[in-house]
Structure 1
Amino acid sequence: MTIFFPDYITVFSASFSQNADWSSVAALGKERSNVFFVIKLFKDNKHFSIFKSTSYVDVDAKARELSEFLNVPYKAKAL
């Protein structure tokens, strides 16, 4: 894995599906879907996801703190 110093940080919303065949919700269907918010670091045309949560407030706070710590811009997106 190559780690790079980012040009900027942003937060995305993403939907993740999980196979539910062997979980406690297997009776409800074959898949379940969750919406997460993800912190991504961008360098040129490459990106690296570093944190995800279902809480936008938590992700936004961590992204702002990381942006300040690394001294790189936080480009907030309207979600």
Structure 2
Amino acid sequence: MKLNVFACYGRYLLSADCMFAPREATEVYRPAAAILGLVVSDELPPPLCERVARDIERQQFAFVHADEARQVRLPILAMQHPPTAP
């Protein structure tokens, strides 16, 4: 699954690439910055991939705390696949 990656305060917001950042998530965790890019869920370590998939299935978004995101190089992975123009 391809995932949009947005930076927010202290964490990263992920959503399916067919969606923008869900309003529910951005209202709770402001500010949600512009999209950084995309990651393919298979690029994430298995436990994180499973957790993100569960959260997206349940609530259409997932959060990854900044420390964990840095450990798995999430921001760098996202920037390797810049968002496509609308």
Q: TM-score of the superposition, structure 2-length normalised?
A: 0.24
Bigger share in helix: 2
Bigger share in strand: 1
Q: TM-score of the superposition, structure 1-length normalised?
A: 0.25
